[in-house]
Amino acid sequence: MPRKVCIVGGATTPFDYGATGFESIEGGAAECIRETREDIPDFSLRDLDLMIYSHFSVHFGHQLCSEWVIHDHLGLAGLPHFRVENGGNTGGSALYAAALAVMSGHHDAIGIVGWETMDSVSQSQGSEFIALASDIRYELLVGGIYPIYYAAMANKWMKDNKVKEEDVASIGAKNRNNAMDNPKAQWYRNEHKYITVDDVMNSRLISYPIKKYDCCLMTRGVAFLLVCSEEYAKKVNPDNYVTIDGIGLSSCTIRAGDRLNYPRWTEQYGPNYPGMTEFGACRNSAEQAYKMAGIKNPKKEIDFGEIHDAFSTSEAQIYKALGLADENNIAQFLRDESTHMHGQIPMNPGGGLMGYGHPVGATGIMSTIEAYYQLADMIPKKHLSKKTEVPDAKCGIVNSHAGTGTSISNFILRRH
């Protein structure tokens, strides 16, 4: 048996866009670590034996190897460090790397710092930079922004699964409204209002069936997470540590149109899967994580999730890929509000990418931190109220997602 992987703490800066006065990646990282030390005073920077940096794009960073700026600033010169980049799944991939490092027995206390500074260029330039992660030779000039690719996938998925625009719009409203209980969330800090399904339906067309309030936010933000061995967890946070019981990472094609008959998928799941509608890499990585964590019935055994809602449509597609519903009942699963706070399996109580924000390299780390807070009874301390606390949560899923579903990771976290 490999060693257990634990999480003992973590924090983010407030997520925002534009001038706040605290824009500095190294300063942000330092403040995240200071907040973590307030939660677990026995943790010392001296304990760290590896730093993993989670950052998507130099285009936003205007600095090659900006992790070197942060690492040096934290006083950690001499300590091993490297950066992980994997599109929107950068955070999840950094967590995967940290988990492997602990499981191997080679490292005991690993800090992950994730960040993105998407407001260093204009919003429209930012969208084009993100689209450089599509195959630019074939897709950048036709469509040119990710919401269009996602809309084309979602349109067919919704038809195939009898899901209506209103059904997914409720996800857009849910995550923003959850964010209203989270003072670090970008939606709380900026737009700051509760919205309804009608508000989502009436928001401007981005690409049918996706409207503005079906889309995530562009964000500046930094996050820090402390991943460690159980031995170290027992030393610094014996009462409130969380274990990562399952990890999974999988991949899919860069161009969504190449998924119709992909031989390796056909070998694994039979013909016509994932097609242009399903997230095969999500299903595959979830199956890996479930198997490792001994989960047979995810809907019953998982209490909540922090998942990658780049679009409300993709959050719905993810539910299906996670095995929470199938083509016969996904529409009803959505209409039952199963993933709202009052539902069977709340998703994105922290606000998700649509509410908390999506500073790409920090996003998966943020999701993990929120899941950690839920399992460590820290929501009343970190959010404004208990409204977004999942009562008696014992098991959560963290999902991180890239490209058009091109790289996806899933993690099963359990309360110790």
Partner 1 sequence: MQKTIAKKRNKFAQEPNFTIKKSYRPDDVKETGLSFVGHEISDDGKVMNQFLHYDQLYTIRHGWNSPFFKGLLDGKIMGTRCPKCKDTWVPARTHCWRLDCNLQPTEWVEMPLTAKVHTWTVAGWSGRSSLKRLPIVLVYAIIGDSKVAIANELHKIKPWDVEFGMPLKIVFKPKDERIGAVTDFHFEPADNWKPSPTNKEKERIKKLVEPVYEWVKTMK
Binding site for partner 1 (CB under 8 A): 19, 21, 62, 124-125, 127-128, 131, 135, 137-139, 141-145, 147-149, 151-153, 155-156, 159, 165, 204-211, 255-264, 267, 276-277
Closest alpha carbon to 279 in 392, 153, 382: 153
43 and 226 in contact (C-beta within 8 Å)? yes
Nearer to partner 1, 259 or 382 (CB): 259
- Give min distance, CB of 30 to partner 1, in A: 18
- Give min distance, CB of 39 to partner 1, in A: 29
Distance CA 396, CA 346 (A): 10
- Give min distance, CB of 275 to partner 1, in A: 9
Structure tokens at 134: 């599509």
Q: Which amino acid is at 1?
A: M
- Give min distance, CB of 335 to partner 1, in A: 18
Nearer to partner 1, 284 or 410 (CB): 284
- Give min distance, CB of 96 to partner 1, in A: 24
Nearer to partner 1, 61 or 91 (CB): 61
Residue 126 C-beta-side C-alpha neighbours within 13 Å: 20
Exposed e or buried b for every residue in 285-298, given b needs 16+ CB within 10 A?
bbbbbbebbebeeb
Nearer to partner 1, 1 or 64 (CB): 64
- Taking residue 77's Cβ as centre, other Cβ atoms within 10 Å add up to 10
Nearer to partner 1, 204 or 381 (CB): 204
Supply the DSSP string of 186-224, one letter for each residue: HHHHTT-----HHHHHHSPEEETTEEGGGB----EEEEE
Distance CA 334, CA 159 (A): 15
- Give min distance, CB of 254 to partner 1, in A: 10
Nearer to partner 1, 215 or 366 (CB): 215
Distance CA 13, CA 354 (A): 17
Which residues on neighbouring strands pair with residue 51, listed in sequence order? 81, 111
- Give min distance, CB of 267 to partner 1, in A: 8
Nearer to partner 1, 368 or 404 (CB): 404
